[in-house]
Structure 1
Amino acid sequence: MSHFHTPPRPEPLWLDLVSLDGGGSCPAQFYGKTRDGRDVYVRYRGGQLRVREAYGPGDDVMRGRLLCDVPLGPPLDGDLSMHQFCTLTETLVNNAVPPKGDDDRDLDLSGATTFFRQSVWLSEQTAQELLAEIVLDVAPAMPMALPLPGVTVTLFYRPLVHPDRRLTHENKPPHPVARRLGQPIETLFEDGPYGDQFALWASFPTEDDVVRQTLKTLAQRVEAAAPEARTQAFDLETGAHVPEQHRCERIDRRVAAWCLAQENRWLRAHPVKQTVKQADAEARLIGWRPEP
């Protein structure tokens, strides 16, 4: 996955509040009160800002009017200060904008900064080869190899699995799905859906097209290491295809080859509930593997 995100400017809310309390992270939440006694609720999580206002004093704010619902920050961001919220939405608390705190977690969400995120699963060998390619071939030719005002770049990598479990079944405890099936299986991603394993994160001035093109070049190198492929879903108890669970995702060729080498190897395997109230013991056991 690769993604550029420039925060959009929310429409002004022009809220006039007598109080605003709260805080936190992932989500950041604020609870306010208008001068005529209506409740206001603010929630920021995963980059999404939502604001609701009760229709009248004493009404449930969660069923109130949706004033704002915008993808403000980059995906997975969950930090928003009271000062930021009021500044970005033209909101006043007792006729003033709350002062800026000392929290350095706040991102620049004004639109002047663009954020870039890319993450993909790679085998250790492929990741090391890619790291060497970036360091020896790409980075020296890139402007971001030198410190630039307003530019931050982070290249993040952690091993796919514990060293004694790399693409093997040695020393692995029985998979919970295997215990239910009564037969051994191997999965590469034991924690379910994909997460960040090889990631490139950056922020830069929105108007800087040189850095933007640099990041596009790096992203192309990363994507080439894990081309997009189709993964098929199977009911592990019946062996039947589950077409509605098929996916397209980026997969390291080494990972795909490991998975296809044996019938009991899967990218991931876990229960999938058909209904919200369905217990895990009754949920359908689904396994995913690359299409041959």
Structure 2
Amino acid sequence: MIDFIFLKSMRYEEWRFECLLRYQILLSPHSLQTAIGCTNDKVHQMISISFHTPHLPLSLNLDLASLRGGGSYPSQFYGETQEGREIYVRYRGGHLSVEQSDNDGRKTRLLETDIGPPHDGSMSLAQFCRYFGVTVNGKVPEETDPEARRYTDFSGATTYWTADFGRVTEQTSRRMLETCRKAWPEALLLEPVWNSRHELLDLREAKPDNIRSYRVWLVDGAARLSDIDTHPDEHLLPKEGQLQVSVDYGLWNSTGIPYGNSHLISASKELGRSIYVAGKYRQTDIVEIEDCAFKLRATFPTCDETPREKLSNLATVLLPHLPQTELERVNLGTGEVVSTFTRPIDPAIIHWCSQDDDRWIAVLKDETRGPWVGVRAQRA
């Protein structure tokens, strides 16, 4: 059974819908983060679904003598107050911080807020000044960043929806895309035609089984292709009455890049037998199974509740593709089951692991001198 929870998030300062299904591999914060088949984070989210509406903090009411900078992931700005104090601004991962260096070397945090969607990292200098109450010699700088129109709308008028499904195999991804199409039977499933500069030349209707681009769109509210406005660089342009969902999956147009396998070699050497892990690790003596993230993104006017309901329902019908599965952590030296837990996993990965006693979802060490531990579906 999959549980949902509505919670008041201090991060977003709004009611968020989030599927609290997390894939926890490491035992404790003190364990050695040496792992194969999982990230180096202590907790890797297999499924994360959220709505985010920016809520502006109180104005800084700050007039600077100078301000410069830019960039993305992070966006960084460097300024100086009228009194000669240095100002440093950083925006990454939806998180904005403004720090002032005092004359005695102390630093004062003027602002720290999670204002943007998860993973967002682009903000123009003019945006920063306009939304957060900053002027330069009494004036709000004019917009000079040609990409600014593509950045997040921090006014709160737009809500951002993200749905990330981790470790999805290609065959499951196509089933998930088919589920999306069936959930919105009137929507158009569109594949892009790119030129050599990755500019959008055209759109064509597509079927889940023959997608060859890393990105497609599901557009609800458009009866025909001619109803959709496009731009070579911005791709699909927002249009009233249309709900546009981008769907990204990296293995639709290419094979994955092999991960480093030094730990896998070490595990096999120490244990005296071949150990295999789901993923692409240059394991040449078996047929590997590849996986990557299946990601959906959409924006809509905050004042319109209909898209929120549609997107929530879309997420709900996708969840069964990664069913909660009973997993066990096994000492690879003794075969002893160390612990058990339940997490959502692609059934194709479980099936791949079941074909050999030394195929695993993940392999790791909890301590430098500790045993190698494998993660797999629980066995009777």
The two structures share one fold, judged by TM-score above 0.5? yes
Question: Amino acid of the residue matched to residue 140 of structure 1?
Answer: P
2:59 aligns to what?
Answer: 12
The equivalences for 1:199-210 within 5 A come to 199-210=295-306
The equivalences for 1:1-292 within 5 A come to 1-54=48-101, 56-57=102-103, 59=105, 64-101=107-144, 102-103=146-147, 104-120=149-165, 121-135=167-181, 137-141=182-186, 144-146=220-222, 148-149=239-240, 151-159=243-251, 175-181=261-267, 182=269, 183-190=273-280, 197-229=293-325, 231-233=327-329, 249-269=343-363, 287-292=374-379
TM-score relative to the length of structure 1: 0.78
Whole-Å Cα distance in 2 between the matches of residues 21 and 96 of structure 1?
14
Equivalent residues of 2:245, 2:296 under 8 A apart: yes
1:133 deviation in Å?
A: 2.6
1:32 deviation in Å?
A: 1.1
Equivalent residues of 1:2, 1:219 under 8 A apart: yes
Equivalent residues of 2:183, 2:317 under 8 A apart: no
Question: Amino acid of the residue matched to residue 70 of structure 2?
Answer: G
Q: Specify every segment of 5 or more residues in structure 2 that has no aligned partner in the other structure, as ranges.
A: 1-47, 188-218, 223-227, 229-238, 282-290
* Aligned residue pairs, count: 269
1:93 deviation in Å?
A: 1.0
CA RMSD of aligned residues (A): 3.3
1:233 deviation in Å?
A: 4.6
Secondary structure at the residue paired with 2:184? helix
Secondary structure at the residue paired with 2:150? coil
Question: Equivalent pairs: percent with the same residue?
Answer: 32
Whole-Å Cα distance in 2 between the matches of residues 93 and 164 of structure 1?
47
Whole-Å Cα distance in 1 between the matches of residues 370 and 253 of structure 2?
26
Equivalent residues of 1:159, 1:197 under 8 A apart: no
TM-score relative to the length of structure 2: 0.62
Equivalent residues of 1:38, 1:53 under 8 A apart: yes
Question: Amino acid of the residue matched to residue 262 of structure 2?
Answer: P
1:169 aligns to what?
Answer: none
Whole-Å Cα distance in 2 between the matches of residues 232 and 53 of structure 1?
49
Whole-Å Cα distance in 2 between the matches of residues 51 and 67 of structure 1?
5
1:164 deviation in Å?
A: 10
Question: Amino acid of the residue matched to residue 108 of structure 1?
Answer: D
Whole-Å Cα distance in 1 between the matches of residues 123 and 259 of structure 2?
41
1:124 deviation in Å?
A: 2.2
Pair 69,250 (structure 1): closer, same or farther in 2 beyond 3 Å: farther
Pair 107,283 (structure 1): closer, same or farther in 2 beyond 3 Å: farther
Whole-Å Cα distance in 2 between the matches of residues 266 and 176 of structure 1?
16
Equivalent residues of 1:119, 1:196 under 8 A apart: no
Secondary structure at the residue paired with 1:140? coil
Secondary structure at the residue paired with 1:42? strand
Secondary structure at the residue paired with 1:198? strand
2:192 aligns to what?
Answer: none
Pair 21,177 (structure 1): closer, same or farther in 2 beyond 3 Å: same
Whole-Å Cα distance in 1 between the matches of residues 54 and 333 of structure 2?
46
1:73 deviation in Å?
A: 0.8
Structure showing the higher strand proportion among its residues: 2
Equivalent residues of 1:72, 1:109 under 8 A apart: yes
Whole-Å Cα distance in 2 between the matches of residues 42 and 199 of structure 1?
29
- Deviation per CA, 1:249-283: give whole Å up to 9, x if none: 431122223224433222234567x6xxxxxx889
Question: Amino acid of the residue matched to residue 100 of structure 1?
Answer: E
Question: Amino acid of the residue matched to residue 71 of structure 2?
Answer: G
Equivalent residues of 1:151, 1:202 under 8 A apart: yes
Whole-Å Cα distance in 2 between the matches of residues 112 and 173 of structure 1?
41
Pair 86,159 (structure 1): closer, same or farther in 2 beyond 3 Å: same
Pair 290,117 (structure 1): closer, same or farther in 2 beyond 3 Å: farther
Whole-Å Cα distance in 1 between the matches of residues 161 and 139 of structure 2?
33
Equivalent residues of 1:118, 1:219 under 8 A apart: yes
